[in-house]
């Protein structure tokens, strides 16, 4: 089974320093939905793993987060793709949980659900914490320059020179599918 894991904010949709707090604020990055559709058609199971500390901060509730994720999955379906599951960490940075990236709990849960190792599985993110979580499970960390990726690229390449960098999810998808 082919598997890919994506971060949400900054990879699939535009990010915001004020958080994505409603379905109206969720706006896809150009061609990200088409990239997910291409991955789906190529036989990839697509999982999303995202930190959502806005819940712990009281900025939105689980029902609102579910509505945001429904908007995202519906938008992906409209262009012919699918997302197998969206896993999220609702905790804040000081909550000492296992699921908040850079910890690996979300990824370990995906491995458990799919009953497969994440070694070599592409994990696409836009931040150092995404990359570090991917490395901790021996996945293939991919940095995109969208979201915070452009600002984080220099630091990530210094600390983790093995990380592959792409302009966005669509350009990575094109490269990945040419290699398949």
Q: Rounded distance, CA 156 to CA 115, Å? A: 30
Backbone angles phi, psi at 179, to 5 degrees: -80, -25
The CA-to-CA distance between both ends of the chain, in Å, stands at: 13
66, 72 in Cβ contact below 8 A? no
Q: Rounded distance, CA 163 to CA 115, Å? A: 25
Q: Which of 7, 126, 140, 168 is catalytic?
A: 7
Q: Which of 9, 15, 130, 168 is catalytic?
A: 9
Q: Which two tokens stand for residue 111?
A: 């491995």
Is 9 assigned a catalytic role? yes
Which are the catalytic amino acids?
7, 9
């Amino acid at each position: 089974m082919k598997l890919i894991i994506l971060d949400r904010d900054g990879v699939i949709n535009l990010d915001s320093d004020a958080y994505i707090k409603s379905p109206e604020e969720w706006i896809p990055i150009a061609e990200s939905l088409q990239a997910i559709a291409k991955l789906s058609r190529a036989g990839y199971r697509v999982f999303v793993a995202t930190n959502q500390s806005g819940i712990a901060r009281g900025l939105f509730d689980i029902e609102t987060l579910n509505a945001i994720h429904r908007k995202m999955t519906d938008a992906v379906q409209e262009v012919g793709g699918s997302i197998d599951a969206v896993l999220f960490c609702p905790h804040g940075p000081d909550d000492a949980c296992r699921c908040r990236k850079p910890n690996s709990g979300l990824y370990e849960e995906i491995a458990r659900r799919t009953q497969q190792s994440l070694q070599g599985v592409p994990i696409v993110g836009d931040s150092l914490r995404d990359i570090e979580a991917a490395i901790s499970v021996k996945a293939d960390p991919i940095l995109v320059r969208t979201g915070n990726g452009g600002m984080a690229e220099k630091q990530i390449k210094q600390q983790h020179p093995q990380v592959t960098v792409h302009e966005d999810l669509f350009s990575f998808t094109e490269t990945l599918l040419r290699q398949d």
